[in-house]
Structure 1
Amino acid sequence: MNLRDTGRFLAVLASLKCTLAISRRPSGVALLGVEKGIPTLSACLLPRSMGLAVAGNRLAIATMHELMIFANVPSLAPLYPARPDHYDAIFVPRTSHYTGDLDLHDMVFDKNIVLAVNTRYSCISVIDGFFNFTPIWQPPFVTDFGPGDRCHLNGMAFDDGKVRFVTALGQTDTPFGWREGMADSGIVMEVPSGRIAASGLSMPHSPRVINGQLYVLEGGRGQLLQIDPASGSKRVVAKLPGFTHGLAEYGGVLFIGLSKLRDKRGPQGLPIEAERDELVAGVAAVDAHNGEVLGILEFYNGVDEIFDVQVLPNILRAEILNPRQWFETPSIVTMKGGFWQTRPAEEDEGASHAG
Structure 2
Amino acid sequence: MPHTQKKENVVEQSPHDTAVPPTQTDPAEAPLINLRDTGRFLDVLASLKCSLAISRRPSGVALLGVENGVPTLSACQLPRSMGLAVGGKRLAIATIHELMIFANVSSLAPLYPERPDYYDAMFVPRVSHYTGDLDLHDMAFDNQIVLAVNTRYSCISVIDGYFNFTPIWQPPFVTEFGPDDRCHLNGMAFHESKVRYVTALGETNTPFGWRKGMVDGGIVMEVPTGRIVASGLSMPHSPRIIGGQLYVLEGGRGALLRIDPATGAKQTVTTLPGFTHGLAEYGGVLFIGLSKLRMKRGPQGLPIEAERDELVAGVAAVDLASGAVLGILEFYNGVEEILDVQVLPDVLRAEILNPRQWAQMPSITTMRGGFWQQKPREEDEEAAAAAQG
The answer to whether the 8 A contact 1:260-1:276 is kept is no
2:384 matches 1:326: no
Residue equivalent to 1:314: 346
Residue equivalent to 2:119: 87
Matches within 5 A, 1:229-268: 229-268=261-300
2:377 matches 1:342: no
Q: Cα–Cα, structure 1 residues 228 and 340, in superposed 2: closer, same or farther, change >3 Å?
A: same
Deviations 1:114-166 (A, max 9, x none): 00000000000000000000000000000000001000000000001100000
1:276, distance to aligned residue in structure 2 (A): 4.9
Q: Distance in 2 between matches of 1:275 and 1:185?
A: 19
1:326 partner SS: helix
2:66 matches 1:41: no
Deviations 1:57-116 (A, max 9, x none): 000000010000000001000000111111000000000000000000000000000000
Letter in 1 for 2:246: L
Structure 2: state its 5+ residue gaps: 1-10, 12-33, 384-389
Residue equivalent to 2:98: 66
Residue equivalent to 1:160: 192
Say which one has the larger Rg.
2
1:303, distance to aligned residue in structure 2 (A): 1.0
The answer to whether the 8 A contact 2:256-2:270 is kept is yes
Find the partner of 1:101 among 116, 121, 133. Answer: 133
Deviations 1:183-241 (A, max 9, x none): 00100000000000000000000000001000000000000000000000000001100
Q: Cα–Cα, structure 1 residues 184 and 350, in superposed 2: closer, same or farther, change >3 Å?
A: farther
1:337, distance to aligned residue in structure 2 (A): 1.0
Residue equivalent to 2:221: 189
1:349, distance to aligned residue in structure 2 (A): 6.5
Residue equivalent to 1:288: 320
2:377 partner SS: coil
Q: Distance in 2 between matches of 1:278 and 1:75?
A: 44
Find the partner of 1:51 among 80, 83, 88. Answer: 83
Find the partner of 1:117 among 146, 149, 161. Answer: 149
Deviations 1:221-275 (A, max 9, x none): 0000000000000000011000000000000000000000111021111101114
2:251 matches 1:216: no
Q: Distance in 1 between matches of 2:70 and 2:292?
A: 26
Higher strand share: 1
Deviations 1:30-74 (A, max 9, x none): 000001111111001001000000000000000010000000001
Q: Distance in 1 between matches of 2:235 and 2:73?
A: 30
2:326 partner SS: strand
Residue equivalent to 1:137: 169
The share of aligned pairs that are identical, in percent, is 83
2:211 matches 1:205: no
Letter in 2 for 1:61: I
Residue equivalent to 1:24: 56
Q: Distance in 2 between matches of 1:21 and 1:116?
A: 17
1:348, distance to aligned residue in structure 2 (A): 2.0
Letter in 1 for 2:357: Q
1:350, distance to aligned residue in structure 2 (A): 11
Q: Distance in 1 between matches of 2:282 and 2:367?
A: 30
The answer to whether the 8 A contact 1:261-1:276 is kept is no
Letter in 2 for 1:298: E
The answer to whether the 8 A contact 2:273-2:308 is kept is no
2:182 partner SS: coil
Find the partner of 2:332 among 293, 300, 305. Answer: 300
Letter in 2 for 1:129: G
Structure 1: state its 5+ residue gaps: none
Q: Cα–Cα, structure 1 residues 149 and 84, in superposed 2: closer, same or farther, change >3 Å?
A: same
Residue equivalent to 1:13: 45
2:378 partner SS: coil
Residue equivalent to 2:208: 176
2:309 partner SS: helix
Q: Distance in 1 between matches of 2:94 and 2:296?
A: 23
1:27, distance to aligned residue in structure 2 (A): 3.7
Q: Distance in 2 between matches of 1:72 and 1:151?
A: 36
2:248 partner SS: strand
2:280 partner SS: strand
